[in-house]
Amino acid sequence: MSSSHDLTGRVAVITGASSGIGEHTAIALAARGAAVALIARRAHRLAALAERIRRAGGRAAPFATDVTDAAALDATAAQVRDALGPAGIVFNNAGVMLPTPVTGADAAPWERQVDLNIRGLNHTVRAFVPQLVEAAAAQGVADLVNTASIAARTLFPTFSVYAASKAYATHFGNTLRAELGPRNVRVTTLEPGIVDTELQGHIADDRVRERLQGTRQTVEWLQPEDIAELVCFVACQPARVNLAQIAVLPTRQAA
Ligand SMILES: NC(=O)c1ccc[n+]([C@@H]2O[C@H](COP(=O)([O-])OP(=O)(O)OC[C@H]3O[C@@H](n4cnc5c(N)ncnc54)[C@H](OP(=O)(O)O)[C@@H]3O)[C@@H](O)[C@H]2O)c1
């Protein structure tokens, strides 16, 4: 089993690895010695990231996959196991945030958030839990880390579907913890406040996007590296320690 800051010998799967929090977490986990399996849809971004990690002396493999496609993800899980061994860290992180005013809301952004933030989260758990259990049996511990959001427990107008999807992630993780803990699989829910990534760029509603960008005048947003360090901290704890739920906010963000 790895020492306190060393993840050598562990295999980490990162969904949403092509940008933002996932990309930086892949880099940070690889820098501590984990072999990283990179999952997202943009194959060229994953290939470039894998190359960057390899050039830095790490071990990485890209697996371009849409996590809303359960069958494709199952096939990817088998390929990851063949290429790197059973996943002992799964960072279940792919997500999308599409706030829209409820009046006159188009159904498509609501559906997309449910498809990715809830169904994709489920598919990832189902595809990789057998490997986490296998890795925990072999190495003493394994980690499932789900990215929820502080939106899971605060009320932001126009964020209803996103917030509800993240509340799902939080409660799903807490309940899974009760089931997987006895098998030495730790489950952690991350609840970040605002982080400077591509996430905000997908917001179609101009007023919502501008309101969010306006917070930069009073709040220094978190950087994705900040969250990456937390994921490493979680995975590097002694096997008896499960950080179950972590809210991490910019210092000047009230809620
Ligand atoms: N940024 C924030 O303020 C913040 C705060 C709290 C929580 N979060 C959560 O943090 C997580 C990561 O977001 P981020 O901030 O890093 O944003 P980001 O830069 O937009 O990253 C989202 C990632 O999800 C991937 N993705 C999107 N659809 C996918 C699909 N169908 N299949 C596979 N991968 C898919 C994207 O890659 P492709 O487009 O290449 O597929 C991308 O790598 C999300 O769950 C988000 O809700 C973010």
pLDDT digits (tens, 9 = 90+) for 194-248: 999 999 999 988 999 999 999 999 999 999 999 999 999 999 999 999 999 999 9
Phi then psi dihedrals of residue 82, to 5 deg: -65, -40
In-domain check, residue 141: yes
Q: Are 103 and 97 in contact (CB under 8 A)?
A: no
Q: How far is CA 113 from CA 27, 38, 144, 150, 163, in A?
A: 26, 21, 21, 16, 10
Q: Which of 129, 144, 143, 147 is nearest to 73 (CA)?
A: 129
Tell me the C-alpha distance between 111 and 212, whole Å.
22
Tell me the C-alpha distance between 33 and 28, whole Å.
9
In-domain check, residue 254: no
Give the distance (Å) from ligand 1 centre to CA of residue 63: 16
Give the distance (Å) from ligand 1 centre to CA of residue 19: 7
Going by CA atoms, what residue is nearest to atom 1 of ligand 1? 195
In-domain check, residue 65: yes
Q: Is 53 in the pocket of ligand 1 (CB under 6 A)?
A: no
User: Is 168 tagged catalytic?
Assistant: no
16: left (phi over 0), alpha (psi -120 to 50) or beta: left
CATH (domain of 212): 3.40.50.720
In-domain check, residue 244: yes
In-domain check, residue 253: no
Q: Tokens at residue 253, please?
A: 């963000």
- Please list, in sequence order, all residues whose beta carbon lies within 8 angstroms of the beta carbon of residue 44, skipping any fewer than 6 positions away: none
Q: Is 194 in the pocket of ligand 1 (CB under 6 A)?
A: yes
Q: Tokens at residue 177, please?
A: 């913890």
Q: Tokens at residue 220, please?
A: 């220094």
What is the domain range of residue 101? 11-248
The total number of structural domains that make up the chain: 1
Mutate to test the pocket of ligand 1, among 24, 93, 165, 208 (most ligand atoms within 8 A of CB): 93
Atom of ligand 1 nearest to the CA of 116: 31
Q: 134-159, pLDDT tens digit by residue?
A: 999 999 999 999 999 999 999 989 99
In-domain check, residue 2: no
3-class SS of residue 49 = helix
In-domain check, residue 1: no
Kindly tell me if the per-residue pLDDT of 5 is higher than 90.
no
3-class SS of residue 251 = coil
In-domain check, residue 3: no
Give the distance (Å) from ligand 1 centre to CA of residue 197: 8
> What confidence tier does 2 reach under pLDDT thresholds 50, 70, 90?
very low
Tell me the C-alpha distance between 64 and 33, whole Å.
22
Q: Is 11 in the pocket of ligand 1 (CB under 6 A)?
A: no
Least confident of 1-10, 20-29, 104-113: 1-10
- Provide, rounded to the nearest whole percent, the portion of the chain with pLDDT above 70: 98
Secondary structure of 8-28 in HEC code, one letter for each residue: CCCEEEEECCCCHHHHHHHHH
Q: Are 226 and 250 in contact (CB under 8 A)?
A: no
